[in-house]
Amino acid sequence: MADLRDQTLAFRLRREWPAYVYLLPVTIVLLFLNAYPIAYTIYISMTDFGTGPKGSLLHYHYVGLANYDYVISHQSSTILQLVGNSFFWAGGCIALFLLVGLGLACVLNQPLRGKTIYRTLILLPWAFPAFITLLVWAGMWDYEYGIINGVLNAIGIHSVDWLLSPDNAWAALFITNVWLSFPFYTVVFLATMQAIPKDLYEAASIDGAGALSQFRRITLPYLRPTIVFVGLMGFLFTFNNFYPIYLLTNGGPGLSTQIFITQSYSDAFGAHGAAPLYSTAAMYSVLDFLIIIVLTVVVIWGADLTRNWLR
Amino acid sequence: MRVRPRRRWVRLAKRVASHLVLILACAFALFPIYFIVVTSLSTLPIAAITAHVLVPNPHSLTAASYNTILYHLSPSFLALMTNSLIFAGSAAATGLALAAFTGFALSKFNFPGRRTFVYFILLISLFPGVLLVIPYYFMFNSLGLIDTYLGLIIPYSAGAVVFSGILVKNYMDSIPDDIEEAALVDGLSRTQAFFRVLIPLCYPVLGLAAFLAFLGPYTDFALAHLFITTTNLETLALGIYSINSGDQGTQNYGLVTAFAVVMSLPIVAFYLAFQRYIIGGLTLGAVRG
């Protein structure tokens, strides 16, 4: 049906109009449950809702970009830390996902006894709902009662203050999130690898290519589109992945593991019994949204560029 | 090829190393799950949960925690489960229908504004979902829907709609247009062809769409925590959270983990039964690149 592109608008409308009927329900749902709340959030971020004088919860005013201005000029270190943490969190996780996923997929892609059993077992963490396992992980990292320190003690290592010092908190977050996600990445890469024609490898090994150069010259080029696609989607997802940080560290200690989304949530719902700061929360949501949009545009544009370049 | 004696050793070493790597990966994957199951079967107070619990004495295992979870919770586990099923079930039904219509329109029609529509839904889906709870609260509060079934069913129905719609579109793209055209030649209208020919071909991906739409509300905490103020609407996710934070007396690991096992069981069973379709559906877009 590609030839329709050349037809006139009226002709296409006459033939394709049922599409609008099929899209009507989803459009209504998205306008009411996404577009309007997003617009509302942008509006709230430009008011003194929750940050103004007492009683402003009911009577808030439009203040333009004052919230943004205040944070950028008075709390620039907080903003910089949130930006840094968000990128560190998403970038670090994706690097680990790709590393572990690719490595395990390579190992699983060779003829091995018990391969199916390994694959099924490796997939199990992914089958459990993340919210539930995260609650348990939070307990496992506990300094006094957590099983991880328990195991460390049993093999003669002193307890580690996992969630109480910045470096260890990041380590705990990364390990937990790798546990949650590496099954998916392993399976995706394995599926892609299994689609590579086997005779390519045979031809290469007759020509005397070793395992490493086979990987570099055959496997990697085949995987590249998948790596780019999965990497980008994973990055965007992790950038806004709320529950691991909220349930494990809640941004702490201090602000050291706080990202935009957790900061926004705790501002809105008054962490430690503080008053809700809806306008600041909304502002952090908007900043998060803007960063994600810019990133997406840049990456899509960059991927197009490299594709045209290499072909 | 020359066969060198060294080669066999290299091969053997490679195989041993591969098994070692996989065993380590499985140990990492299974450790928390094993821990959850073992802890759920013991009644030790939290302070006594140390490494030696990992190799439990078979005689000390008890189903007491499960007994408490299933029969002695207030609100009862059954009530929590019923609420979760109401929310997740209706989200799955609407999510399934919306994803099917969206995927069909985007895959099989070349209507004016198609590109713009795709960009619009992608843009919208980039906004962090958890943060929608703030505007939702004010919207549904002014509609008088806070703490009602409808007030949660409506926002839950949109949860996975963009993602699932695109999954269905990708899947339908892989079904040749000839199939639909043959149905049209046989005298079916386009709508009839959609319901009678395309939909049955898409059962696997539609099942996945329903599953994803189900999973969101089933494990949602952020929205439920804010919207539900009376206990008769409480869901499983709120139940396990409140047990975990010690709202029901002191924090009891046995109870938390037993709850986790019972709550995860249906999801894990479904997942293991339909593993192939779930992975196939999710990797379709990714593998094609």
- The average pLDDT across A76-88 equals 90
pLDDT, one tens digit per residue, over A104-159 is 999 998 888 888 889 889 988 988 888 888 988 988 898 887 888 888 888 888 88
What is the rounded CA–CA span in Å between residue A229 and residue A240? 17
Q: Name the one residue in this structure whose structure tokens are 């349930």.
A: A247
Compare CB distances from B26 to A122, A226, A230 and report the shortest one's residue: A122
Q: CATH fold of A75-310, please?
A: MetI-like fold (1.10.3720)
Residue in chain B nearest A131 by alpha carbon: B219
**CB distance from B95 to chain A under 8 Å?**
no
A251 touches A245 (CB < 8 A): yes
Predicted pLDDT of residue B24: 94
**CB distance from A179 to chain B under 8 Å?**
yes
Q: Are residues B19 and B78 in the same domain?
A: no
B159 touches B216 (CB < 8 A): yes
What is the rounded CA–CA span in Å between residue A1 and residue B172? 14
Both tokens of B112, joined, read 């004016």
What is the rounded CA–CA span in Å between residue A304 and residue A291? 20
Q: Name the one residue in this structure whose structure tokens are 């293991």.
A: B272
Q: Are residues B141 and B226 in the same domain?
A: yes
- The average pLDDT across A44-61 equals 70
pLDDT at A170 over 60: yes
Compare CB distances from B158 to A34, A131, A137 and report the shortest one's residue: A34
Both tokens of B11, joined, read 């091969």
Chain A residues with beta carbon closer than 8 angstroms to that of B53: 147, 150
**CB distance from B249 to chain A under 8 Å?**
no
Chain A residues with beta carbon closer than 8 angstroms to that of B260: 132-133, 135-136
Q: Are residues B19 and B154 in the same domain?
A: no
Chain A residues with beta carbon closer than 8 angstroms to that of B46: 145
Predicted pLDDT of residue B74: 77
Domain count, chain B: 2
Tell me which residue of A69, A289, A134 sits closest to B135, measured CA to CA.
Answer: A289
B258 touches B69 (CB < 8 A): yes
Q: Are residues B158 and B226 in the same domain?
A: yes
Chain A residues with beta carbon closer than 8 angstroms to that of B132: 33-34, 37-38, 41
Q: Are residues B259 and B154 in the same domain?
A: yes
**Between residues B250 and B244, the one the model is more confident about:** B244
Q: What is the CATH number of the domain that holds B81?
A: 1.10.3720.10
**Between residues B57 and A163, the one the model is more confident about:** A163
First to last CA, chain B: 37
What is the rounded CA–CA span in Å between residue B150 and residue B129? 19
Q: Are residues B152 and B209 in the same domain?
A: yes
Write out the residue range of the structural domain in which residue B29 sits.
Answer: 5-62
DSSP secondary structure letter of residue A257: T
Q: Is A308 exposed, middle or buried (0-12, 13-18, 19+ CB in 10 A)?
A: exposed
Both tokens of A155, joined, read 């093999």
Q: Residues of A numbered 272-291 whose beta carbons fall under 8 angstroms of chain B's beta carbons: which are they? A: 278, 281-282, 285, 288-289
pLDDT, one tens digit per residue, over A211-259 is 888 888 888 888 888 888 888 888 988 998 888 999 898 887 888 899 9
pLDDT-based confidence at A200, cuts 50/70/90? confident
Q: Are residues B16 and B132 in the same domain?
A: no
Q: What angle do CA A151, A154, A159 make, to 5 degrees?
A: 65
Predicted pLDDT of residue B39: 83
Task: Find all residues with CB under 8 Å of A69, minimum gap 6, and list them.
Answer: none
Q: Are residues B210 and B154 in the same domain?
A: yes
> Count of H helices and E strands in chain A?
15, 0
Q: Are residues B90 and B228 in the same domain?
A: yes
A182 touches A124 (CB < 8 A): no
Predicted pLDDT of residue B247: 57
Predicted pLDDT of residue A310: 45
Compare CB distances from B26 to A35, A121, A285 and report the shortest one's residue: A121
Each as own residue / partner, the long-range contacts of residues B76-80 (CB below 8 Å, 24 or more positions apart, any chain) are B77/B239, B77/B262, B79/B232, B79/B234, B80/B234, B80/B235, B80/B236, B80/B238, B80/B239
Q: Are residues B74 and B202 in the same domain?
A: yes
Residue-level length of chain B: 289
B57 touches B46 (CB < 8 A): no
pLDDT at B262 over 50: yes
- The average pLDDT across A300-308 equals 66
**Between residues B209 and A55, the one the model is more confident about:** B209
For residue A62, report the phi and psi dihedrals to the nearest 5 degrees. -75, 130
Predicted pLDDT of residue B101: 93
Q: Are residues B9 and B132 in the same domain?
A: no
Both tokens of B14, joined, read 């490679």
Both tokens of B217, joined, read 């509300």
Q: Name the one residue in this structure whose structure tokens are 């990708």.
A: B170
Q: Are residues B94 and B151 in the same domain?
A: yes
ipTM entry: 0.83
pLDDT at B288 over 50: no
Domain boundaries, chain A: 2-44, 75-310
Alpha helices in B126-202 (DSSP H): 133-142, 149-157, 161-173, 177-185, 190-193, 199-201
pLDDT-based confidence at A289, cuts 50/70/90? very high
Please indicate whether, in this complex, the C-beta atoms of B46 and A145 are within 8 angstroms of each other.
Answer: yes
For residue B248, report the phi and psi dihedrals to the nearest 5 degrees. -100, 60
